[in-house]
Amino acid sequence: MKLVRDPVHGYIELDERVLKLVSDPFFQRLRHVTQTGLAYMVYPGMTHKRFEHSLGTMYLAKEFSSFIKRNSEVDFLTTEMISLISIAGLLHDIGHMPFSHTFENVLATLRQVYGEEVIEQGKKTHVIMGEKIISEELSSVLEKEFSFVGVDPVKFIINVISGKYNTEEEKLASLLISSFIDSDRSDYLLRDSYFAGVDYGRFDIERLKRVMLYVDGNLAILKKATPIVEEFLLARMYMYENVYFHSVVGMYNAIATHGIAKLIRESIIEVPLRPKELLKLNEFNIMSELQKHGDEFYIGLMERKGFRRIKQDITKECINADEIRDEAMKESFETNGLIMYHDFFDVPYMEDLGEAIYIYDGKEIERFSSVSTMVRSMKELKKAIVAYHVKVKDRIDKLERMIKECK
Q: Interface residues with its own copies (CB under 8 A)?
A: 3-8, 10-11, 23, 25, 28-29, 31-32, 40-41, 43-45, 47-49, 51-52, 55, 194-200, 202-204, 206-207, 210, 227, 230-231, 234, 238, 241-242, 280, 282-289, 291, 302-305, 373-377, 379
- Beta carbon nearer to its own copies, 127 or 211: 211
- Beta carbon nearer to its own copies, 207 or 401: 207
What's the min distance (Å) between Cβ of 11 and its own copies?
A: 5
What's the min distance (Å) between Cβ of 384 and its own copies?
A: 17
Spatial separation of the C-alpha atoms in residues 383 and 310, rounded to whole Å:
13
Helix (H, G, I), strand (E, B) or coil at 187: helix
- Beta carbon nearer to its own copies, 49 or 101: 49
Contact (Cβ atoms closer than 8 angstroms) between residue 96 and residue 49? no
Q: Which of 304, 313, 307 is nearest to 387 (CA)?
A: 307
What Rg do the C-alpha atoms of the chain give, in angstroms?
Answer: 22
Spatial separation of the C-alpha atoms in residues 338 and 302, rounded to whole Å:
16
- Beta carbon nearer to its own copies, 127 or 375: 375
- Beta carbon nearer to its own copies, 55 or 385: 55
What's the min distance (Å) between Cβ of 213 and its own copies?
A: 14
- Beta carbon nearer to its own copies, 2 or 123: 2
What's the min distance (Å) between Cβ of 318 and its own copies?
A: 16
Contact (Cβ atoms closer than 8 angstroms) between residue 361 and residue 345? no
- Beta carbon nearer to its own copies, 9 or 171: 9
- Beta carbon nearer to its own copies, 195 or 358: 195
What's the min distance (Å) between Cβ of 121 and its own copies?
A: 27
